[in-house]
């Protein structure tokens, strides 16, 4: 009993500062501080520079010869693939336009990377961040391809490939993995340099998550928002847990897979949805509803699954 209570205390102590930063970001943005132009610029520099630095720093020292990492990569692809297949079957039963299906798919498959890394880092420390980087190296390209295909109802292969390859997170994952596989690592103080950049990424990212919330968007499509949020925050972590156990995952690897499957969808999904002519208000509603609901669902799901 004391072990369960202790684990619950660790979860609470890990999660409340994360959500406090999100609330702070929302409050600052609604008060107009430090200015309307700050938040888009902050999100941009984080997405292009700070967060890629964190990924490179984590992946460059990853033990790529560890079989557990290969199993984590396989379980990542399998869980996302199974979920995407089930969503495609649901679409056959209840047809939806790309503008509508695109946000729905992103609501279930995509994940708020800043939130996931902050939680994994708090629970498992540096080992968790390294495993999380492996998860992202597989998941980021996969969910981006699936999201673009869903929004475009079948994109042409070449433009789709070019768009994915230009993604800063994918480039960072490729660079970090290359450094790890070749044994180059981070020589000549480059690890310290990247570490300085990486330290700024997560707090700034969480503040930007809060600044991007749009509570007004939850007033429409209430039923659809509820169903999609339940699939993301309740069904997806159980699916990932089952796939992970079937693939032989335990410990930190299983924690990473479940955490990234239990967190809300990515705020960047709104940008992609708008850029490709999707239902922007629906996507904004999904992001906001899931982020708010996850403050309650995350500790419950993680406690039930024992990760």
Q: Domain containing 97 — which CATH number?
A: 1.20.1530
Q: What global pTM score does this model have?
A: 0.90
Predicted pLDDT of residue 256: 97
From 238, 240, 205, 224, select the one nearest 285 (Cα to Cα): 224
Domain count, the chain: 1
How far is 129 from 299, CA to CA, in rounded Å? 19
What would the pLDDT profile of 71-101 be if each residue is shown by its tens digit? 999 999 999 999 999 999 999 999 999 999 9
Predicted pLDDT of residue 153: 62
Q: How many CB atoms lie within 10 A of CB 295?
A: 15
Predicted pLDDT of residue 21: 95
Q: Could you tell me if 264 and 112 are in contact, meaning their C-beta atoms sit under 8 angstroms apart?
A: yes
Predicted pLDDT of residue 8: 61
What would the pLDDT profile of 180-190 be if each residue is shown by its tens digit? 999 898 989 89
What would the pLDDT profile of 271-299 be if each residue is shown by its tens digit? 888 878 899 999 999 999 999 999 999 99
- What letter would DSSP give residue 155? -
Which tokens go with 190? Answer: 């480059």
How far is 53 from 306, CA to CA, in rounded Å? 31
Q: How many CB atoms lie within 10 A of CB 104?
A: 24
Predicted pLDDT of residue 36: 85
How far is 210 from 284, CA to CA, in rounded Å? 12
Q: Nearest 5°: CA angle at 47, between 44 and 49?
A: 95
Residues of the chain with pLDDT under 70: 1-10, 153-161
Range of the domain at 245: 2-305
């Amino acid at each position: 009993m004391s072990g369960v209570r202790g684990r619950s205390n660790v979860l609470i102590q890990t999660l409340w500062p994360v959500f406090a930063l999100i609330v702070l970001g929302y409050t600052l943005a609604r008060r107009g501080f430090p200015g309307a132009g700050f938040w888009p610029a902050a999100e941009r520099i984080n997405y292009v520079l700070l967060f890629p630095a964190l990924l490179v720093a984590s992946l460059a020292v990853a033990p790529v010869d560890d079989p557990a990492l290969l199993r984590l990569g396989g379980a990542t692809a399998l869980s996302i693939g199974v979920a995407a297949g089930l969503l495609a079957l649901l679409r056959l039963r209840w047809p939806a336009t790309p503008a509508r299906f695109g946000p729905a798919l992103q609501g279930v498959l995509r994940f708020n990377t800043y939130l996931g890394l902050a939680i994994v880092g708090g629970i498992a420390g540096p080992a968790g961040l390294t495993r999380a980087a492996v998860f992202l190296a597989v998941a980021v390209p996969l969910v981006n391809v699936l999201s673009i295909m869903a929004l475009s109802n079948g994109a042409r292969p070449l433009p789709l490939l070019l768009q994915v390859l230009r993604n800063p997170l994918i480039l960072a994952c490729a660079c970090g993995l290359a450094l790890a596989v070749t044994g180059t690592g981070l020589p000549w103080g480059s690890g310290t340099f990247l570490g300085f950049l990486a330290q700024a990424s997560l707090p700034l990212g969480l503040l930007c998550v809060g600044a991007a919330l749009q509570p007004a968007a939850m007033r429409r499509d209430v039923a659809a928002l509820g169903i999609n949020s339940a699939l993301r925050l309740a069904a997806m972590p159980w699916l990932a847990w089952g796939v992970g156990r079937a693939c032989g995952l335990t410990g930190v690897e299983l924690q990473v897979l479940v955490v990234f499957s239990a967190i809300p969808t990515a705020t960047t999904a709104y940008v992609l949805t708008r850029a490709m002519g999707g239902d922007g208000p629906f996507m904004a509603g999904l992001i906001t509803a899931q982020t708010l609901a996850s403050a309650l669902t995350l500790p419950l799901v993680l406690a039930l699954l024992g990760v």
